[in-house]
Structures are given as C-alpha cells and as structure tokens.
A = this chain, B = another copy of it.
Amino acid sequence: MRDIQDFFTIDPVAPGMFETPCPVIDLDVAERNLRRWQARCDALGLANRPHIKTHKLAGLARFQIALGARGITVQKLGEAEVMADAGIPDMLISFNIVGAPKLARLAALARRTAISAVADSPAVVAGLGAAGRAAGRAISVLVECDTGAARNGVATPAAAADLARLIEATEGVRYGGLMTYPAVGMRRQAAEFLAQARDLVAAAGLASETISTGGSPEMWRDEGLGVATEYRAGTYAYFDRSLIAAGACTVQDCALVLRATVVSVPTPERAILDAGSKALTSDLLGLPDHGAVPALGDARVYQINEEHGYLDISGLAEKPAVGDIVDILPNHVCPVSNLFDKVALMRGGRLLGLTPVDARGLVW
C-alpha cells in the first residue's frame, strides 16, 4: 500500500514562508487514528463508512478506502460530486435531498457512482424516486430513524416499516435499510428502535441490508452495536477538544491544530492571536472557551472576535512575544476545515506543504 502522503497533491512551502492562520494536520497521527478504527470495525464485523465532512480531503477519503472502508458518508451533494470525481466508488449521502435542482444532480451522480440516500417522509421518497427514474437506475434509500436525537427521522419503528414499504413500492428507488444518528448516551435505546424496525420490515417481507449508526463521541463503546451492520464516524480522523472531553481520545490523538501567530501582547495577562471565529468558528460544544494551546501550559483562548483570538497568558512564567507561532487545539475540527481553502500536512515531524480542501465551500 502506498504511503499516506502519496494520496495527496502537495505544494511545498519555502522555508520561512508559512503563513497563519492555517490548520496543520499531522498525517502520522491521522493514519494511526484511521488504522485503529478500521481494525476495530474489522474486529466487530462492522462495515466502516467514514464521514468525510470532517476532513473534506479526497486524499484522506481514498486512504480510508484503501485501509478497508466500505465506502464513505457525505452530507452534501457538492461533497459527493468532488468525491465521485476523486474515484470514490461507494457513497451514502446522509441528508434528505429535496428540490428539483438537487434531485437532478443526484440523478447525474447515480448514473456514474454507487450512491445511496436517506429519507424520513413520503415527500422525500417521491423526489428520490424521480431522481432514480431520471438516472435509469434504482437508488438505494435508507430510512432515517429518530432514535432520540430529536432531529430528522421517523418517530417509531412502525413508521420506519411503513416508509420502507413505500420506498419498495416506488419506482426509481429500492429499500436499502435503516439509518440513525444516535444521541449521546442513547445508544441502547437506538439499538432497540433499530431492532424493532428491522423486525417489522422483515415481517413485511423486506430485508434491511444495511443498518447504519454513527458518531465519534461514543465510537469505542460496544453498547448497542449488535444490531448495526455499518458505522459512520467522521471526527475520529482528527479528533478535537470536544472528543477529549467526551473521553473518545487523548490530546496525543489530535491530528489537527490551528497554527496561529501572536500579533499583540498588550498586557502580561493577554496575547492576541490572528485566529478568531473566522478560523476557529464559535462552536463551544459544551466547552467553556474557544481552544487551548497545549505547548503553553494548555493556555486558553478565552474570547474570540472574527479575526482575533484572546489567549490567557496570565499563568505563564515566560510570556509569548509578537511574532511567536502557537498551535491551537480547536473545540470542533469539522467546521474548521470548512473555513480554509488549503491545509498544511506534516509527516515524520516535517512540514510537507499545503493541500487543497477539495470539498470545502460547496455549501450546496
């Protein structure tokens, strides 16, 4: 198998010409995360279908497939189009596709790649059926189940079975199985819902080929996995502060940092970084601040504006100076990748250069 760095197109950066703010991804750490998770899926007999919304990198998606992933999960058509262009052969789009322009794009994708979809209402099924008929190829549709997250999804196993029958009766689509995003702490409840729905569907003469669950916060817990055939995790490629807090990883597992520059040290208590909400996002995910700098005694980014990060340096014996470079551990990595046209890659402690975030900014 090729080395992980050979999956990427990399533009080298001349010495001293690296600019901040910029996410820096340690490929050694990312590779370790990806291999460890693939090994766990293999051991459990679960198909691994990583969600690429976290990294949005065609190279990393191809590497995940090379390690043994069944396919990938995407959240948007734009992501699916980029990944199809990159040669990813099997995708689940885990978000209701609604409206004529998007259904036309889905039809075009279905003609050239194995793409499955989700639905939680007859209206969504009707659209997907039209797309499948336009593609000349039945699209596999999973029934999205609300197993406790109170987001999308049918509310009961009986409603799941009803929708499964409707899908099977609709030209242009075929029933592919069940899908949920379980709320944290509700994995057992989710498994009960899925098992009941699977049995009701089976009683109607339909097989649930795929039963797909997901989520990085509880990825290492066995609870409720028995019913699942497939797992969708995204953030595990990089991990972040929110997943340290969730107990899913340690700081050594975090593959992405936001590299920033100290632009002002107005007082011995405060340094200002060139990284604010337009680089870190405002996502708190339950944390009390906006990021931490492990190399500076875990100093906290206690406030942000659009382009300013306020670092608490009151506890540091040696204060940073204007021009110093710091690496911030973000609360939530997924939307950080989404803000940058390029990210930097490291391997063996060495900066390799910049690579484009292929599926970034494709809001549609």
Which of B17, B21, B262 lies in contact with A101, CB distance below 8 A? B17
Report the bound CA distance from A360 to B321 in whole Å: 30
Chain A 12-37 near chain B by CB (<8 Å), digits 1 or 0:
00001111111000000000000000
B306 engages A123 (CB within 8 Å): no
A-side interface residues, number (CB < 8 Å) = 64
Q: Which residue of B lies closest to A13 (CB)?
A: B101
B274 engages A98 (CB within 8 Å): yes
B322 engages A124 (CB within 8 Å): yes
Which of B76, B98, B278, B335 lies in contact with A363, CB distance below 8 A? B278
A75 engages B307 (CB within 8 Å): yes
Given A121-B264, A306-B334; A16-B364 close (CB under 8 Å): no
Chain A 317-360 near chain B by CB (<8 Å), digits 1 or 0:
00001110000000000110011110000000000000000001
- Taking CB atoms, residues of chain B closer than 8 Å to A360 are 361
A152 engages B363 (CB within 8 Å): no
Given A266-B120, A282-B281, A322-B123; A364-B151 close (CB under 8 Å): no
Q: Other than the known A96-B272, A152-B272, A281-B281, what 13 A-B pairs have Cβ atoms closer than 8 Å?
A: A19-B102, A76-B307, A95-B307, A96-B264, A96-B322, A98-B261, A99-B261, A123-B321, A152-B308, A153-B264, A277-B335, A278-B335, A282-B284
Q: Which residue of B lies closest to A279 (CB)?
A: B363
Which of B95, B146, B307 lies in contact with A274, CB distance below 8 A? B95
Cβ of A186 < 8 Å from any Cβ of B?
Answer: no
